[in-house]
Amino acid sequence: MHAFLKSESGAITVDWTVLTASLAGMGLAVGSVVSGGLQDLSNDIRNFLTGVEMSAEFRDLVGQVCADAGLGGGTGGMTHQGMPVTAMLIYQSSDFIGGLPDETSMSQWAAGSGGAQQLQLSPDAEPIVLLIADDDELLHEVDNSQIVAQDVEIDGQTFGEGFDVSSAYTLTDTDSGMMLSSLHFGDPWTGTQIGPVIATAASNPLEPGETYNFDGNITTHGNEHPYASYLGCA
């Protein structure tokens, strides 16, 4: 009986060998199929972390701003009027020395006035949180579904829940890959310019006291970018 139990020959051994070989082959096949996608994802993460740098002081500032807004852990699936809510970190026009350029001047610059557009943040500038609800994942220049999800005070003016939000223009920098979209607000949305440019959201950290140069500009109705491209409370 003991010899029988220790036996490694027979039909069971053959079956086990075939099954093990099949599973190993299946694993190799699956690996070859998904490896490309995993590599792409890995590269995307690497590129994001490499391209977005911030000082420890600014990282702490952003963390505190989000925590003070009750968003230290992000929006947590928050919705408003049935739409998902994004917590964007924005700067007010008064945070920039000389303010933000208006949409008309940016349109003229984009049409070929030449040169670079330069923006400088005040040393005491501090981002604030804008909760925006939208039925898609894109910040558009023209979209009547982009609304303020919670009252926000910008440069002393309160924009209430339900105010429409529009992106007037988006400045870009070829060297750094930075993207900066201006914001204006209206109640209600009119389909054209709905108010002065009073705030801006950026893809990379805008650190207080620093100067930033931009060599590109988008002002057409094709001005749309994923909310995930902008800094926020995640």
Q: Is a pLDDT exceeding 90 seen at residue 42?
A: no
Average pLDDT in the 15-44 region? 49
Task: Return the higher-pLDDT residue of 61 and 20.
Answer: 61
Please tell me the distance from the alpha carbon of residue 215 to that of residue 136, in angstroms, as a whole number: 29
- CA 146 to chain CA centroid, Å, is 15
- For residues 40-52, give the mean pLDDT: 40
pLDDT score of 35: 43
- What is the spatial distance between Cα 46 and Cα 208, in angstroms, rounded to a whole number? 26
- 39 has a pLDDT exceeding 60: no
Residue 36 clears pLDDT 50, i.e. is over it? no
Q: Model confidence over 187-232: pLDDT tens digits?
A: 876 655 556 788 999 999 999 999 999 998 887 666 889 999 999 9
Global pTM exceeds 0.85: no
Which pLDDT score, from 0 to 100, does residue 44 have?
A: 40
When pLDDT is averaged across residues 69-92 and rounded to a whole number, the result is: 95
Least confident of 92-96, 130-134, 159-163, 182-186: 182-186
Give the model's pLDDT for residue 189: 65
So where are the chain's domains?
2-51, 56-229
Single-letter amino acid code for the residue at 8: E
* For residue 5, pLDDT beyond 50: no
Distances (CA, A) of 89 to 114, 177, 189, 202: 30, 18, 22, 8
Where is mean pLDDT largest: 17-31, 108-122, 160-174, 211-225?
Answer: 160-174
Predicted confidence (pLDDT) at residue 63 exceeds the cutoff of 90:
yes
Which residues are bridge partners to 186 per DSSP? 164
Residue 33: the pLDDT is 47
Sign (positive/negative) of CA torsion 49, 51, 52, 53? positive
The confidence score (pLDDT) of residue 52 equals: 53
Phi-psi region of 58 (alpha: psi -120 to 50; beta: other; left: phi over 0): alpha
Query: For residue 32, what are the CA distances in angstroms to 39, 42, 44, 53, 66?
Result: 11, 16, 19, 34, 41
User: Looking at residue 227, what is its pLDDT?
Assistant: 95
The larger pLDDT score, comparing residue 84 to residue 1, is at 84
The pLDDT tens digits of the residues spanning 102-157 come to 887 887 776 555 678 899 999 999 999 999 999 999 998 878 899 999 999 999 99
Of 7-11, 32-36, 155-159, 226-230, the poorest mean pLDDT is in 32-36
112, two tokens: 């070929």
Cβ neighbour number for residue 199 with a 10 Å cutoff? 25
